[in-house]
Amino acid sequence: MKVQTKRTALAAACAASALLASGEALAVNWLKMQGTEPPGAAARARVWGFIQPEYQQTKGTKLRAGGWAGQRAIFNQVRPDLKSDSGFNIIRARLGVRGTGFPLDSKVNYFFLMEAGNNGITRQGGGSVKITDASVTLNHIKGLRIRIGQFKTPGADEGLRAIHVFDYINFTNATNQLLLERFFDGDGSQDAPGQPVNRPNGPVSAFRDVGIQLFDWFTTGSWEHTYAVMVGNGNGITRGDNDDNRELYLYWASELLFPGASPFPSGAHLAPPSWSADHHGPRGARYQGLKLFAWYQDGKRTLTKENPGEYDRTRWGFGFTYRKGKWRGGAEYIRAKGMIFSGTDGGALPGAANNAGTAVADFNVVTDGKADGWYVDVGYLVHPTVELDLRYDVLNRNTQSASLERQFETWTLGMQYFFNKKSRLILNYEFRDAEAPNLPGTHPANRILSGMDDRLSGQLLIIF
């Protein structure tokens, strides 16, 4: 199943050009919204949350080649259990509280959020409820705010933005495979029967870390500039450091802001209270502008079992977000080096024995890999309650090796129906393709990837 890279890249470039030509764009300062409260206006405690029930489905095509031929393909199973090709799920159910120390100290604010849904956060490491965010921000020094605790890291826009304002159901390939980190004890190279299956040893990162962040924003003319420097454990959430190494995060964003009532429905992209009043204005009308951003992340990961040792993990990227009138969208480029998540043996379910009984499928990571990916996203409001969306994304994984390289390409058609400012329905259909570009079409790797199904998804969002 050949990925038509040149043709689709040209189409995506044309879409991006049309998007830019239509005018000014959306800007949302996520560091401000998630890490601070409006001075003198925030409540001591504001409770909020949201629920996201969903349904996902593929055709359930079985593996067409390799040692596990005829068995279920992991890429055709639905999240989070990866045991069925269709099903209903409560993917997220979050409850939080945020506010300031007023009247003790209005310059101290906090953010706390719990997850009770069925997903990669709660399925690993035991327990059904996990703390995703628990942080305090000190706003005493002009130009230097200090946030301490567990929270979203300053990085790629898909990961940094609040999930309940995300315009699609599933992340792009690059974000899912390169940035939504899974943590392992080994690299998955020991596949002999009787050996422990290499599985994640805890929750996914959820684009979060435990550490300290220095950040702030300042205005020059019509532009608002934001910086962030963070040092974290680099070991995910709900646990401490495991190897005495530290993760470094750097972030910069420049946003061109100008006020104006948006034709988008009230609360269509509602941010967590209480900065929503700042960015959404009366009845949810939004500020419009152009946000340009760049980010960098670097650290080490430690394996203790298969191929034990310390390995580099570096990520960086840049992009923009956009809104003008009825249009919205954006684009981002992501590059990765070092440790890279690389799926399972033969595309099989982890723990499944091959047909000869000589190996068991593991999750694998490449410890010295290279990868890059990008996406372009466009949305248009065709009615006060209906938005149509189109996204194209590409991932080139393990480009350091001709035999290991894999290319993933996905077109996502989407529709959002806004019941009111706090509830909406999202429908997505993903046309998914993948290939091993340097191997013959008859090679088992390409025969396996030719069985990657399209995916249908529906999700309901209720904010309270």
Instruction: Map out the domains of the chain with their CATH numbers.
Output: 5-463 (2.40.160.10)
Find out whether 429 and 454 touch, Cβ atoms under 8 Å.
Answer: yes
Residues 153-167: pLDDT tens digits?
999 999 999 999 999
The stretch 293-317 carries a mean pLDDT of 97
What's the pLDDT score for residue 20?
33
The strand pairing partners of 148, in sequence order, are 136, 212
Return the pLDDT at 3: 45
Q: Which of 416, 445, 413 has the alpha carbon at shortest distance from 432?
A: 413
Query: What's the confidence (pLDDT) of residue 259?
Result: 65
According to the per-residue pLDDT averaged within each range, which of 14-28, 179-193, 280-294 is highest?
179-193
Q: Which residue has the higher pLDDT, 259 or 98?
A: 98
pLDDT in tens, 368-377: 999 999 999 9
CA distances from 196 to 67, 123, 303, 304 (A): 19, 19, 15, 13
Q: How many helices (H) and strands (E) does the chain have?
A: 6, 16
Say which residue, 25 or 177, is predicted with more confidence: 177
How would residue 27 be classed by pLDDT, with cut points 50, 70 and 90? low
Q: Of 448, 439, 430, which Cα lies nearest the Cα of 361?
A: 448
| b/e per residue 380-394 (b: at least 16 CB within 10 A) | bbeeeeebebbbbbb
In the structure encoding, which two tokens stand for residue 7, read together?
A: 């043709």
The model's pTM is: 0.89
pLDDT mean over 379-408: 97
- 39-74 residue pLDDT tens: 777 788 999 999 999 999 999 999 999 999 999 999
Q: Of 395, 381, 390, 393, give the one whose Cα is nearest residue 424.
A: 381
User: Residue 18: its pLDDT value, please?
Assistant: 34
Q: For residues 229 and 239, what is the distance between their CA atoms, to the nearest angstrom? A: 21
Do 165 and 271 meet the contact criterion of CB atoms below 8 Å apart? Answer: yes
Residues 343 and 369: beta-carbon distance below 8 Å? no
φ, ψ (nearest 5 deg) of residue 385: -120, 5
- Positive or negative CA dihedral for 55, 61, 62, 66? negative
Residue where the block lists tokens 């005495």? 244
Q: What's the DSSP call for residue 177? A: I
Task: Write the DSSP string, 311-360.
Answer: EEEEEEEEEEEEEETTEEEEEEEEEEEEEEEEEEGGGBPTTPBPTTSS-B
List C-alpha distances in Å: 188 to 30, 130, 170, 181: 36, 27, 26, 16
Q: What is the pLDDT of residue 364?
A: 97
Ranked by mean pLDDT, which of 57-61, 104-108, 263-267 comes out on top?
57-61
The dihedrals phi and psi of 286, each to the nearest 5 degrees, come to: -105, 150
How high is the pLDDT of residue 424? 96
Using one digit for the tens of pLDDT, what is the confidence trace for 107-150?
Answer: 999 999 999 999 999 987 666 899 999 999 999 999 999 999 99
Whole-Å CA distances, 433 to 4, 32, 448, 454: 9, 38, 11, 8
